[in-house]
Amino acid sequence: MDQEQARRWLRTALDEARAGLDEGGIPIGAALYGADGALLGRGRNRRVQDGDPSAHAETDAFRAAGRQRSYRGTTMVTTLSPCWYCSGLVRQFGISRVVVGEAETFHGGHDWLAGHGVEVVVLDDAECAALMREFIAARPALWNEDIGDE
């Protein structure tokens, strides 16, 4: 895909991540875009805010998009490489493309998705990486909880 468009869409996810940080939450954001480029849903990690461990950013954006008959041609944009849970979401629902802000602070299932026909774009975005690096350094226990790491 067009890298300019990918970076533009990433801003939406990054805005969500920053809003989450401002709320005392885990700074990961996501957005789901339709095949026509329309924003279908946006969301962020809500573990702290809602006490909801299932509300990873990608799932929150997917939920916000509501019921859809097809995900063909859609793009999930996320500030961080999707974990197995969110990668499974992408694979099960046939989301066509994943734009990943960064995969440096956490390497999830994006290679697995690429091996199953999903178009994966990793942007190596410095802002996304800095946000997570600072968060992980400041709150390691909360981060480990969010990815089920003891």
Q: Which residues contact residue 124 at a Cβ distance below 8 angstroms, ignoring those fewer than 6 apart?
A: 102, 103, 104
CB of 71 to a copy of itself, least distance (A): 6
Is residue 134 flagged as an active site residue? Answer: no
Find out whether 119 and 96 touch, Cβ atoms under 8 Å.
yes
Q: Which is nearer to a copy of itself, 6 or 29 (CB)?
A: 29
CB of 67 to a copy of itself, least distance (A): 5
Q: Per CB under 8 A, which of residues 58..77 are in contact with a copy of itself?
A: 59, 62-63, 65-72
- The values of phi and psi at residue 40, to 5°, are -90, -35
Q: Which of 4, 16, 58, 102 is catalytic?
A: 58
Find out whether 99 and 130 touch, Cβ atoms under 8 Å.
no
CB of 127 to a copy of itself, least distance (A): 25
Q: Per CB under 8 A, which of residues 87..126 are in contact with a copy of itself?
A: 87-89, 91-94, 109
Q: Which residue has the tokens 């091996």?
A: 115
Q: Per CB under 8 A, which of residues 38..57 are in contact with a copy of itself?
A: 47, 51-55
d(CA 3, CA 91): 23
**Between β-strands 39-44 and 119-122, what pairing exists: parallel, antiparallel or unpaired?**
unpaired
Q: Return the structure tokens found at 121.
A: 């774009």
CB of 7 to a copy of itself, least distance (A): 27
Q: Annotated catalytic sites, by residue?
A: 58
Interaction site with a copy of itself (CB under 8 A): 47, 51-55, 59, 62-63, 65-72, 83-89, 91-94, 109, 145, 147-148, 150
